[in-house]
């Protein structure tokens, strides 16, 4: 309901060119360079809409609440991809909590709002569609958004880890420290193992070569392999699972006797043979009680 109130800067990337609010210009530039399409944006929704109050007094609370808050509108898929990129390009810290949790201080306001096509062409019959996703955030988050977009542009990502929920009243999980595993006695019998593929096929007392083949065969169709220790009690409570993600990273879990002794770790994407070698070392170390087998990865309690 008013002309643009903020200074403008020209953003020009390839064939895209637009005049945008100067505070948002660096972010819009990075978004375009990363392939994200944008629609409209504003560096301070409260300032831009202050004139509404003269005509619509009930909007005063909205205007005051949006001072110091910027927004960017995206086509739906671009908006979702942008949120994913920001989450992957940094730690799951207080910034991540603001992005994702409604109760965090200064929590982002992310909206997907249906729109009736008749609103812009009244003779048409009503039909509601979803065309955009709006991301509204405090302007104090602009520097971190820029940092994460630069990391995304260079292909950097941060390995998944437990989320720091301290700003919403939850404790921050710490990595687990394990006591050194004693060396197995030479006279000890070899553990009894059973490996189960995602197809349900099982292998008993498999040799390292077969285990390596099973790990190398994990793909988008056959994603996981479970290896059980059948010589330990209680049954079904001593196992290790390897899960292959779409980006060729791996999630690893192991349980040592019960739900309170269940741990998980993450192996970032690596060359195919390197990933198999690391996984084989972890699985064989776990299966044979090899000292320090846990030291390869950082482990956290499962579902903290």
**Mean pLDDT for each 10-residue chunk of the chain (304 residues)?**
80 96 97 97 93 90 93 96 96 95 96 91 91 96 96 90 88 73 50 87 89 89 91 91 90 93 89 84 90 89 75
pLDDT attached to residue 1: 42
Domain end point (choices 155, 172, 205):
155
For helices 272-287 and 208-216, give the axis angle rounded to 10 degrees. Answer: 130
Number of domains in the chain: 2
- Same-domain pairing of 150 and 219: no
Q: Rounded to the nearest 10 degrees, what angle do helices 25-33 and 142-153 cross at?
A: 20
Q: How far apart are CA 209 and CA 212, in angstroms?
A: 5
Q: What is the CA radius of gyration of the chain?
A: 26
How far, in Å, are 1, 111, 234, 299 from residue 196 at the CA level? 64, 43, 18, 23
Same-domain pairing of 146 and 226: no
CB of 194 closer than 8 Å to CB of 204: yes
Q: Which residue shows structure tokens 């770790």?
A: 265
Same domain? 89 vs 199: no
Are 119 and 246 found together in one domain? no
d(CA 137, CA 143): 12
| Per-residue confidence (pLDDT) for residue 221, from 0 to 100 | 85
Q: Look at residue 186 and tell me if it is in a domain.
A: no
Q: Which domain holds residue 223?
A: 193-301
Provide the pLDDT for residue 136. Answer: 97
Among 155, 180, 213, the domain boundary falls at: 155
How far apart are the C-alpha atoms of 84 and 157, rounded to whole Å? 11
| Burial of residue 216 (number of CB atoms within 10 Å: 0-12, 13-18, 19+) | middle
pTM tops 0.75: no
3: in domain: no
Are 14 and 150 in a shared domain? Answer: yes
Taking residue 42's Cβ as centre, other Cβ atoms within 10 Å add up to 23
Provide the pLDDT for residue 229: 92
């Amino acid at each position: 309901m008013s002309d643009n109130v903020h200074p403008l800067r020209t953003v020009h990337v390839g064939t895209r060119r637009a005049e945008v609010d100067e505070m948002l210009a660096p972010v819009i530039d990075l978004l375009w360079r990363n392939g994200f399409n944008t629609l409209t944006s504003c560096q301070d929704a409260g300032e831009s809409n202050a004139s509404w109050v003269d005509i619509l007094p009930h909007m005063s609370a909205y205007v005051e609440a949006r001072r110091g808050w910027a927004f960017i509108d995206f086509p739906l898929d671009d908006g979702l991809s942008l949120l994913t990129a920001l989450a992957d390009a940094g730690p799951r810290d207080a910034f991540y909590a603001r992005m994702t949790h409604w109760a965090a201080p200064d929590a982002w306001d992310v909206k997907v709002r249906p729109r009736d096509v008749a609103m812009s062409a009244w003779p048409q019959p009503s039909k509601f569609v979803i065309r955009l996703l709006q991301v509204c955030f405090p302007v104090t988050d602009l520097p971190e958004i820029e940092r994460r977009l630069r990391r995304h542009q260079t292909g950097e990502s941060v390995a998944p880890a437990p989320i720091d929920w301290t700003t919403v009243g939850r404790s921050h999980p710490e990595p687990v420290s394990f006591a050194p595993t004693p060396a197995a006695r030479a006279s000890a019998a070899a553990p009894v193992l059973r490996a189960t593929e995602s197809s349900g096929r099982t292998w008993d007392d498999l040799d390292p070569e077969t285990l390596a083949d099973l790990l190398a065969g994990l793909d988008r169709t056959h994603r996981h392999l479970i290896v059980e220790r059948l010589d330990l009690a209680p049954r079904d409570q001593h196992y290790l699972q390897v899960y292959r993600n779409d980006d060729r990273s791996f999630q690893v879990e192991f349980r040592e006797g019960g739900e309170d002794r269940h741990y998980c770790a993450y192996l970032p994407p690596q060359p195919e043979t390197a990933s198999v070698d690391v996984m084989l070392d972890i699985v064989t170390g776990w299966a044979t009680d090899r000292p320090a087998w846990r030291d390869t990865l950082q482990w956290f309690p499962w579902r903290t």
